[in-house]
Amino acid sequence: MKKKIICVVGTRPEAIKMAPVILALRNNPNFNVCVLATAQHRDLLDQVLSVFDIKPDIDLNIMRPNQTLTTLTSRLLLKLDEVLQAEAPDVMLAQGDTTSVMAVALACFYHKIPFGHVEAGLRTWDLQNPFPEEMNRVIAGKLARWHFAPTESSRQNLLREGVPDADIVITGNTVIDALLSVADRSMPLPLVLDPNMRLILVTAHRRENFGKPFEQVCYALLKLLERNLDIQVLYPVHPNPNVHDTAHRLLGNHPRVVLCAPLDYLPFVAAMKRAYLILSDSGGVQEEAPALGKPVLVLRQETERPEAVQEGVVKLVGTNFETIVSEVQFLLDDESTYQAMARGVSPYGDGQAAARIVHVLKQAVL
Ligand code: UD1
Ligand code: UDP
């Protein structure tokens, strides 16, 4: 008998990282795969699912403008309760550390449904950074039956929390599966970028950076643009109003800043490939850019992804104005340091993570 497995996607990165798993499970005759979209993100989620040709079987349509963490969590739990009651799956899978994932883990616990956590074991050991994601993944980790850890260091984090070794499998990160799966597709950049300029690609959305820290990032970009007439900034702005409004207010009028709506996954990968360097507080971008040989300066105090920092291809710069200006300027001026960061390494995976996850599930539930 086929086993019923529900794969959950809520936000953009979850869709990108779950797509390879959904497609691999669908190719396996032993599983009946159901895709549940919480739609914690409405627009960004739909964008990504269409790239991978995935249509949700169940859609909770959760997103509300400028949603708070408490209302988001309550609405998720109430709706998941109904779905799990009705569907009674054999297994549920979710990826990462969003509020959707935390709510799914909790709902599975209440319904006694085995939960598999994809991208398990990432930790900063600081509940405020990133907020609320560190708490979300701790809760998911406490409740998971299977921990699909991307790297050895994420496995070590889980062991430190008392997770039995037998419940952890190192798979690599499915984001590299996703990236490699689109690598051969044509990816036209929709925007006219000046080929004579060095492109700085920017993304930002973390809650702990709202307000002053994010304003400092914008002022640092303006200072760098003033000092360097050969740079152009491409910044696909996250729709969160706390980010969107500040970005447009502070950067909207600069002739060498291209502010645009979030890019579809393929054009965004093209933008990463075209970039000279990337400034970002994104988790996924920290994983993808090293594989594309692009230096990333991370706009955060801490990272749960130490591997690329240890490789020397990603650097934490935080959100301090002076630090951002000096670190970017150094990379713009110092060719050998730049080349050392642009080596092209892939500490997060080999593109086979989804196959490993399916293999484990097959052994465990069939
Ligand atoms: C969420 C996740 C974060 C993840 C990020 C990926 C939580 C608490 N946060 O942050 O971990 O790194 O997604 O991007 O789980 N919005 C839209 N359309 C969209 C998406 C968002 O308009 O498609 C706007 C809405 O006003 C929404 C707001 O952004 O209320 C915030 O969305 P939310 O998912 O709560 O937080 P993010 O900052 O997107
Ligand atoms: N991304 C995208 N379009 C954009 C910006 C990012 O497709 O305009 C992709 C990016 O390649 C990565 C993922 O979205 O795979 C990262 O999502 P995000 O930064 O929103 O979340 P995080 O990874 O920080 O949770």
d(CA 19, CA 93): 12
Whether residue 173 contacts residue 287, with contact meaning beta carbons closer than 8 Å, is answered with yes
- Give the rounded distance of the alpha carbon of 61 from its chain centre: 20
Residues 354 and 229 in one domain: no
In this predicted model, what pLDDT tens digit does every residue of 238-259 receive, in sequence order?
999 999 999 999 999 999 999 9
Tell whether ligand 2 has an atom less than 6 A from the beta carbon of residue 265.
yes
Residues 131 and 267 in one domain: no
Both 151 and 230 in a single domain?
no
Whether 48 and 105 map to the same domain: the answer is: yes
Q: If we measure between CA atoms, which residue out of 322, 304, 278 comes closest to residue 129?
A: 304
Tell the residue nearest (CA) to atom 3 of ligand 1: 98
Residue 191 lies in a domain: no
Q: Note the pLDDT tens digit of each residue in 59-104.
A: 999 999 999 999 999 999 999 999 999 999 999 999 999 999 999 9
User: Cα(49) to centroid of ligand 2, in Å?
Assistant: 13
Q: Residue 11: is its pLDDT beyond 80?
A: yes
Q: In the predicted model, what is the mean pLDDT of residues 220-229?
A: 98
Ligand with smallest separation from the Cα of 261: 2
| Spatial separation of the C-alpha atoms in residues 16 and 305, rounded to whole Å | 18
Residue 229 lies in a domain: yes
pLDDT at 227 over 70: yes
Q: For position 183, what pLDDT does the model report?
A: 83
Residue 17 and residue 116 share a domain: yes
CATH at residue 25 = 3.40.50.2000
222/334 same-domain check: yes
CA distances from 214 to 155, 280, 328, 361 (A): 32, 11, 16, 41
23 and 163 inside one domain: yes
What ligand is nearest to the CA atom of residue 137? 1
pLDDT digits (tens, 9 = 90+) for 190-204: 677 999 999 999 999
Q: Is 22 in the pocket of ligand 2 (CB under 6 A)?
A: no
Q: Are residues 152 and 210 in the same domain?
A: no
Q: What is the mean pLDDT of residues 106-110?
A: 98
Same-domain status, 219 and 337: yes
Assigned domain for 185 exists? no
Give residue 18's pLDDT band: very low, low, confident or very high (50, 70, 90): very high
- Which phi and psi (to 5°) does residue 104 adopt? -65, -45
Let me know whether 159 and 68 are in one domain. Answer: yes
Q: What is the DSSP letter of 344?
A: -
Active site members: 97, 119, 133, 205, 207, 238
Question: Which pLDDT belongs to residue 190?
Answer: 64
Mutate to test the pocket of ligand 2, among 285, 286, 287, 304 (most ligand atoms within 8 A of CB): 285
Domain count, the chain: 2
Query: Does residue 246 fall inside a structural domain?
Result: yes
Q: How far is the CA of 147 from the centre of ligand 1 (A)?
A: 25
For the question of whether the overall pTM of this predicted structure is more than 0.85, the answer is yes
Report if residue 316 sits inside a domain. Answer: yes
Torsion of CA 312, 95, 203, 276, to 10 degrees: 40
Cβ contact 73:136 at 8 Å: no
- Compute the chain's Rg from CA coordinates: 20
276: domain range? 198-341
The string of DSSP letters for 272-295 reads: HHH-SEEEE--HHHHHHHHHTT--
Q: In this structure, are strands 257-260 and 198-203 parallel, antiparallel, or unpaired? A: unpaired
pLDDT of residue 332: 98
Is residue 193 in a domain?
no
Residue 192 lies in a domain: no
In a domain, 182, yes or no: no
Q: Is the CB of 3 under 6 A from ligand 1?
A: no
List pLDDT tens digits, range 287-322: 999 999 999 999 999 999 999 999 999 999 999 999
Q: Which pLDDT belongs to residue 196?
A: 93
Ligand nearest the Cα of residue 292 is 2
Please state the rounded mean pLDDT for residues 152-164.
98
> What is the model's pLDDT at position 62?
98
- Answer yes or no: do 271 and 138 share one domain: no
Residue-wise DSSP of 46-107? HHHHHHTT---SEE-----TT--HHHHHHHHHHHHHHHHHHH--SEEEEESSSHHHHHHHHH
Same domain, 223 and 360: no
Count Cα atoms within 13 angstroms, Cβ side, for 189. 18
Average pLDDT, the chain: 96
Q: What are the start-end ranges of the E strands in the chain?
A: 3-9, 31-37, 58-59, 91-95, 115-118, 146-149, 168-170, 198-203, 231-236, 257-260, 277-280, 296-298, 314-316
Instruction: Give me the pLDDT at residue 132, please.
Output: 97
Closest CA to 104 of 174, 42, 96: 96
Count CB atoms within 10 A of the CB of residue 231. 19
Gap between the Cα atoms of 296 and 312, Å rounded: 10
CA distance 240 to 67: 9
